[in-house]
Amino acid sequence: MARKVGDFFWERLHAWGVRRVFGYPGDGVNGLLAGLQRFGTDKIEFIQARHEEMAAFMATAHAKFTGEVGVCLATSGPGATHLITGLYDAASDHVPVMAIAGQSARMAVGGHYQQEVDLLSAFKDVAGAFAAGHGSRADAAPGGPRDAHGDGRAAGDRADPAERPGGRAL
């Protein structure tokens, strides 16, 4: 069977030392959860919370008490926004937490799709330097795989993000 994005996703998190994820399943992340099943829950444990907000607080507590990166996962729309309060707790205590959230299909974004939320805007205050989504330049983030200049720009990118095609920085 062909490998899927979810398979590579969990392999990368495991390589980064992630061994536990707190989350609440839903349509927007079912592909990732299927990938976790294939990867092996003996390698990365999935702890299902009763609510997305609790998953974020559990990940924050994990980071506070273990010194490891806490990881929380929620589906798209309101499920993703429920992670925000827990992320503020992590930010206020300066502990590392990674939030993984589903999103509406790329073709549906901007079309007022069911439960569509502009997650980049929603997460900007608590995680603006790290938030990434559809069409983002996350792979060109400082130190990222396309960081040709040491400042987040890929080779050939203009220095001023406003000069990029589309006229806005992501």
Cα–chain-centroid distance for residue 82? 14
CA distance 105 to 136: 14
pLDDT score, position 103: 76
- Burial annotation 66-92 (CB, 10 A radius, 16+ → b, else e): eeebbbbbbbbbebbbbbbebbebbee
Q: Residues 66-115: pLDDT tens digits?
A: 999 999 999 888 888 899 999 999 999 999 999 998 876 666 556 665 66
pLDDT score, position 170: 32
Quote the percentage of the chain above a pLDDT of 70: 68
CA distance 138 to 103: 16
Sign of CA dihedral 46, 120, 164, 161: negative
Which domains does the chain show, CATH number per domain? 5-105+113-132 (3.40.50.970), 137-170 (no CATH)
pLDDT score, position 105: 61
Residue 95 backbone phi and psi in degrees, to 5 = -115, 145
pLDDT in tens, the chain (170 residues): 788 988 999 999 999 999 999 999 988 899 999 999 999 999 999 999 999 999 999 999 999 999 999 999 998 888 888 999 999 999 999 999 999 988 766 665 566 656 677 777 777 878 777 776 654 444 444 444 334 344 444 443 444 444 433 333 33
> What pTM did the predictor assign?
0.72
pLDDT score, position 126: 84
